[in-house]
Chains A and B, each alone.
Chain A
Amino acid sequence: MFTNIYPQLIGLFAGALLLTSTLMVWRHSLLASIGLLAVQGVALAALVAVIGVEAGDAELLLVAVLVLTVKGGVLPWILARESRATTRITDESPRLNPTAALLTVAGLTIFSYVVIGRILIHVSSVPTHAAPIGLAMMLIGFLLLVTRRRARSQLIGFLLLDNGIATVAFLTSGGVPLFLELGISLDVLLVVVILYVFAGRMHTKFGGTDVDTLRELHD
């Protein structure tokens, strides 16, 4: 029974990951992006749970709970709380207009399929077919990092990048060992907190969080 719907569930949740990533590029509001990040965290947790049930691996179910708490709950909560408290204007004016950005996303997704097709030549399983989505999420994360001007929007790009890596990990090898997943989650959490503190300091020092104002250090 479960084996029949397993490929469909993998496809569904992987699709949800790609869809939320694309919407993050399309939407310019910071709070909307944070909401999408939470949805993406839940979809990622569901994907891990599905792989765990299919493999009969209790540790993966534990990882799914961890992912749900950190990526679906704690991180978006920290981001949303700080953003509501400190910024009035949360709309972004990116360097790339929406049409060009969405076309780039399409290009990056196709590119991911080509690249992963060359790397995973000796492996064939249901989850590995969805692995290009993880790479596409990473590349979209890079796109956000490069094109967004505000410090906090860049942070969204960084988290998308991290979600992409996690997706590749779960789809190609069933995830890294639990203690490592814990370490990685803690690292990412701390980086986000640090960047948020810096964004706050930037707001008080520069009167805004536009990273284009970071121009003092050069040769």
Chain B
Amino acid sequence: MVFALLAPLALPLILAALSLLRKFSTVTRFFPIAVSGIVLGGGVFLIFATATGQAQTALGGVIRADALSAYMLAVVGAVGLVATWGGLGAVPTGHGTLAGSYDSLLCVFLAAMSLAVLADNIGVMWASVEATTIATAFLVGHHRTRKSLEAAWKYVILGSVGVAIALLGIVLIYAASQNAGEPTLSWLSLSNTTLSLDPAMMRAGGALAVLGFATKAGLDPMHSWLPDAHSQAPAPVSGLMSGVLLSVALYAILRIQAVTNLVLGPDFLRIMLSIGALLSLAVAAALLIRQRDFKRMLAYSSIEHMGVMALGAAIGAPAIPAVLLYILGHGLIKATLFVLSGRILAVEGTPVIAEVRGLLARRPGLAVPWLIAMVALVGFPPFSIFFSEVNILFTGWMEGMGAIVGIALLLLLIIFASLVRLTVAMTLGAATASSPTPPDRSAHGPLLPLVLALVTTAVIAFLAQPIAAVLARAAATLGAIH
């Protein structure tokens, strides 16, 4: 049991260290895939282990997995597997002293995300979210062009400052718990209803912590680093950052929200999260209408989807299972799309949508998976994003947030139309004179992880019994502990 908790944290770090040794240089590119597999395995094992409602702990309670942590760990592993396996060979291996640093940082990045979801202490959760910024800084700047340097600089400055705001919030939450005797940052102790937390300090602390983590989650108005970083990073890194790092930050928000709900009631963060959600949707809608770059298009689509998830978090308990399913569906689809965008960029040599025309006629090997994944992303059934979105909007309506849900629906329609138009512009149309004959049917990389991701998102919403039970248990952990 302890092994399942500690393996996703320790083994990645060991492999990260081994990646730097020249002796292993021929196999280091498989290390991130192995790490993703370990994290996924640990997550699935913990989902079963926590099915009884009993949380698993290690290291004296600092590492603690309840149903929600186990689910998030499995999502980190699953999305990691798609991004790293699909991205195999996408980034040329380094040379000289930097050989292996790319794979090493990917391993550290996955370990940091695992720690963020497994930590019981909010402070440790904070430190590991900050560690993800550190691990990804050089990954974003990996190409060493002027643009990637600019993106990395903005990412690190805004990311660190945002997370610093969250630290101030956590410090205030810690101070708020001190009139209950020994001050604590343990999430388990803080969500104990018998603890009397100082409401004035909790209000300030909770708001600042959520604002800070919202920066990492890419919610408007703290999103400005996101399109730059996600469009400039190597494709597998973009897939990981967009698919799962944003959700890990959202997980932190959900944990903080569970504590503030006990002290201040659900209305307190509902307003803040609703505003963030609508602003994110508005920004995504405004910038997707005239988007010209397909990697930035995917980045803005992430802001949109995080906005809908934040809306779900604002609605509260009834919508949380849908939000959790959304996290998995969006993660898998977005990792697939970013991996494909990297391949399209590599073979076409341009990120501009207008210059990539008639992809379906010229390169069906890339265009077919891209088209299917885009269909899933914009929210067509049978893919799970459709069911999550409908469930969140419907629950919001039932919970009396009709006006907010109405605006969100309008913005979602604009985004839907924009994404469809951009996808049509890229994929349909006749082949041009310069196109290869016969059509290029190669997928330019491993196709199996992408197929698995698409199939999973297509069928998961129909596996009602096992999946609904897992989601319900995970959502239930956010309730009060009496």
* A interface, CB within 8 angstroms of B: 118-123, 138, 142, 145, 151, 154, 158, 161-162, 165, 168-169, 172-173, 176-177, 180, 183-184, 187, 190-191, 194-195, 198, 201-202, 205-206, 211, 214, 216-217, 219
Contacts and interface: CB of A to CB of B under 8 A. Distances in A.
Interface in B160-207: 160-161, 164, 167-168, 171-172, 174-175, 178-179, 183, 185, 198, 200-201, 203-204
B124 interface: yes
A200 B130 CA distance: 22
A206 B133 contact: no
Given A165-B164, A184-B127, A219 B157 contact: no
A179 B45 CA distance: 29
Given A154-B157, A201-B144, A201-B149, 11 more contacts: A119-B200, A122-B200, A123-B175, A168-B172, A169-B174, A172-B201, A180-B127, A187-B127, A198-B149, A201-B141, A214-B153
A201 B171 CA distance: 35
B127 A183 contact: yes
B329 to A, nearest CB: 27
Interface residues of B, number: 49
B198 A191 contact: no
B144 A191 contact: no
Contacts of A206: 146
15 contacts: A122-B179, A123-B198, A162-B164, A168-B172, A173-B174, A180-B127, A183-B123, A183-B127, A191-B156, A198-B137, A202-B153, A214-B154, A217-B231, A219-B287, A219-B290
B426 to A, nearest CB: 18
Given A165-B164, A165-B167, A191-B134, A119 B201 contact: yes
Contacts of A173: 171, 174-175, 178, 183
A154 B154 CA distance: 11
A149 to B, nearest CB: 13
Contacts, number: 118
A12 to B, nearest CB: 23
| Dominant secondary structure of chain A at its interface with chain B | helix
B109 interface: no
Nearest to B145: A205
A187 B171 contact: no
B149 A165 contact: no
Contacts of A194: 134, 137-138, 156
Contacts of B151: 217
A202 B146 CA distance: 8
Contact of B174 (A122, A176, A214): A176
Interface in B118-150: 121, 123-124, 126-127, 130-131, 133-134, 137-138, 141, 144, 146-147, 149-150
Contacts of A138: 168
A206 B131 CA distance: 28
Most buried by B among A118, A183, A211: A183
A150 B152 CA distance: 16
A198 B153 contact: yes
A158 B134 contact: no
Contact of A161 (B153, B161, B296): B161
Given A168-B171, A176-B174, A122 B156 contact: no
A201 B151 CA distance: 13
B57 interface: no
A145 B157 contact: yes
B160 A191 contact: yes
A201 B143 CA distance: 12
Contacts of B391: none
A75 B21 CA distance: 29
A121 to B, nearest CB: 5
Contacts of B168: 138, 165, 168
A183 B185 CA distance: 14
Nearest to A193: B134
B185 A176 contact: yes
A151 B149 CA distance: 12
Contact of B121 (A122, A165, A180): A180
Nearest to A145: B161
Nearest to A201: B149
B157 A180 contact: no
Given A165-B164, A187-B131, A158 B137 contact: no
